Amino acid sequence: MFKDHTRSIVAAGLAGSVALVAALDAGAQERVRWKMSSAFGSQVPVLGTTGVAFSERISQMSGGNFQIKFHEPGALVPGAKEFEPVGKGAVDAGWTTPGYHTHVFGGAVAFFTAVPFGPSLGEFQAWKRFGGGDELREELYNAHGVTSVDSFCIGPETSGWFREEVTNPTEYFKGLKMRFFGLGAKVMQKMGASTQLLAGADIFPALEKGVIDATEFSMPITDIKYGFHQVASYNYFPGWHQQISCSELIMNKEKHDALPDAYKAMIQAAAAEQVVVGYAETEATNPLAMIEMGEKHGVHVKRWDDETLAILERAWLEVIAEESAADPVFKKIADSYLAFRETYRIWGDAQSLDGTYQ
């Protein structure tokens, strides 16, 4: 009886595999060619390289019948402004991040990239995938003809490159012209800074020419690529504004919905792979980049003191209250995020542990 049962399980598994292959073969009969505009260059570690890997994986899984061609920043649309062209169908897809759509939705949309003093990768993905975050994003995007899926996540960022050591942060921030991203920019504005959101390739020239005094962008492995250390050699941590950042593949909803189910499944699988692989790459390579920055380029690595971090966190809580009162969309997303965190707290507090690295 045991052997018969085993044979039945094996037979069922084979039948399922055959059915899956048949479904994929059926879907793969249709040749689809998409253009994907990227907000990040193909040579930018993780931010851009994951987009190239995603495109290659789609082609591999479809036997070349489904192609999503990666286009460099500016080749199809200007300045990390993928959202509207994708919604209108002028471009099929965009490799970008929610925080670049604030010109469409206001600051609320940046919640879907990163949250100041926010969660780890696990908690953030838990809120997005199981706590209502992704549904809120789809509700916003669908109204503009766009659908999306998380495409890559990165580890903690640095919180800024400065020309000199910052000995009195609260005074130093007043009047500072700084490139800053997302919700963290609202905190810096409350601290007295004047912020701009510049695309990666535009930051170095602005910093070099004095258009901005300081900048944050991403992680050591990406920042070193852009050469910020050549102008501002003081790099501050921790990345209080982006402890975890998740970006996205946006797609024209009508074109996505018309795809064969097999192709839709390929998009989900290839994007999920980059979420995991991209995050792992950042954690593996950022320590080496920090060592290189110090030993080869003379970068001074600094850490904000606890008092400064407490002041920044209080400013963030004020931003939540003020923006929620002024913007119903911000309030809706913030309430969802904060409610999930409150539930998560019992697990997070019980499992928190300060690492010693001994």
- pLDDT, one tens digit per residue, over 213-266 is 999 999 999 999 999 999 999 999 999 999 999 999 999 999 999 999 999 999
> What Å distances lie between residue 124 and 50, 249, 316, 343, CA to CA?
20, 17, 18, 13
Question: What pLDDT was estimated at residue 79?
Answer: 81
Sign of the C-alpha dihedral, residues 40, 186, 301, 235?
positive
Question: What pLDDT was estimated at residue 263?
Answer: 98
Q: How far apart are CA 90 and CA 228, in angstroms?
A: 34
Q: CB-based burial of residue 174 (10 Å sphere; 0-12 exposed, 13-18 middle, 19+ buried)?
A: exposed
Instruction: Tell me which DSSP letter residue 90 carries.
Output: S
Tokens encoding 178: 């700084």
Q: How far apart are CA 197 and CA 194, in angstroms?
A: 11
Q: What would the DSSP string read from start to end of 157-173?
A: PP-EEESS--SSHHHHT
Closest to 225 in 3D by CA, of 280, 293, 153, 279: 293
Q: Is a pLDDT exceeding 80 seen at residue 355?
A: no
Q: What would the DSSP string read from start to end of 170-229?
A: HHHTTT-EEE--HHHHHHHHHTT-EEE---HHHHHHHHHHTSSSEE--S-HHHHHHHTGG
Q: Is a pLDDT exceeding 90 seen at residue 52?
A: yes
Mean predicted lDDT score pLDDT of the chain = 92
Predicted confidence (pLDDT) per residue in 69-92, tens digit: 999 999 999 888 999 999 999 999
The three-point CA angle 88-56-24 to 5° equals: 85
Tokens encoding 286: 């950022």
Tokens encoding 356: 């010693």
Hey, what domains does the chain have and what are their CATH numbers? 30-153+244-284 (3.40.190.170), 160-242+298-327 (3.40.190.10)
Question: What pLDDT was estimated at residue 354?
Answer: 82
Residue 358, helix vs strand vs coil: coil
Please state the rounded mean pLDDT for residues 111-133.
97
Question: What pLDDT was estimated at residue 24?
Answer: 52
Please state the rounded mean pLDDT for residues 149-161.
97
Q: Is a pLDDT exceeding 70 seen at residue 353?
A: yes
Predicted confidence (pLDDT) per residue in 278-316, tens digit: 999 999 999 999 999 999 999 999 999 999 999 999 999
Question: What pLDDT was estimated at residue 25?
Answer: 55
Q: How many CB atoms lie within 10 A of CB 220?
A: 25
Residue 247, helix vs strand vs coil: strand
Question: What pLDDT was estimated at residue 301?
Answer: 96
Share of the chain above pLDDT 90, in %: 88
pTM beyond cutoff 0.75: yes
**Biggest CA-to-CA distance, the chain:** 80
Q: How many CB atoms lie within 10 A of CB 244?
A: 22
* Residue 346 or 5, more confident: 346
